[in-house]
């Protein structure tokens, strides 16, 4: 999936700001932008509970961010729609959260957040 996207020139290292937050890399294609975050929470091993906690925290942070954008007039409304999990054929568990942004009367956007872990990174 990422190979059909062009890498944006916006690599950001968060470790200097707060250890454990890792880094992010942006990708885009017409009509879509993706930001990939890689972090370890300053833990040697990341377990299922760490993933669940990070997922819940991410949903809260995104909801807060979208609420701010609504209050600033960027959206008419925003909403957290659903959270679910899928497991790939290889056994990789991926947690997914879906949000809806009402941009104007005619335009609705859907945003998805995916969280998984491998090699002790989220």
SS3 12: strand
- The domain limits of the chain are 1-39, 44-122
The pTM score is 0.76
> How far is Cα 50 from Cα 57, in angstroms, rounded to an integer?
10
Mean pLDDT in consecutive groups of 10 residues from the start of the chain, 122 residues: 74 86 84 80 84 90 92 93 90 89 90 83 74
Confidence (pLDDT) at 2: 52
Report the distance separating Cα 14 and Cα 37, nearest Å.
10
pLDDT, residue 3, reads 56
| Cα dihedral 14→16→17→20 (10° resolution) | 60
- Identify the pLDDT of residue 73: 93
- CB of 24 within 8 A of CB of 47? no
């Amino acid at each position: 999936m990422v190979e059909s996207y062009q890498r944006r020139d916006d690599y950001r290292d968060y470790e200097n700001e707060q250890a454990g937050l890792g880094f992010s890399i942006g990708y885009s294609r017409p009509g879509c932008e993706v930001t990939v975050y890689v972090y370890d929470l300053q833990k040697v091993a990341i377990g299922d509970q760490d993933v669940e906690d990070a997922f819940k925290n991410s949903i809260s942070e995104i909801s807060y961010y979208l609420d701010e954008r609504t209050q600033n007039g960027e959206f008419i409304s925003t909403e957290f729609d659903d959270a679910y999990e899928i497991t790939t054929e290889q056994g990789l568990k991926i947690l997914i959260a879906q949000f809806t942004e009402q941009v104007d009367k005619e335009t609705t956007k859907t945003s998805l957040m995916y969280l998984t872990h491998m090699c002790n990174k989220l």
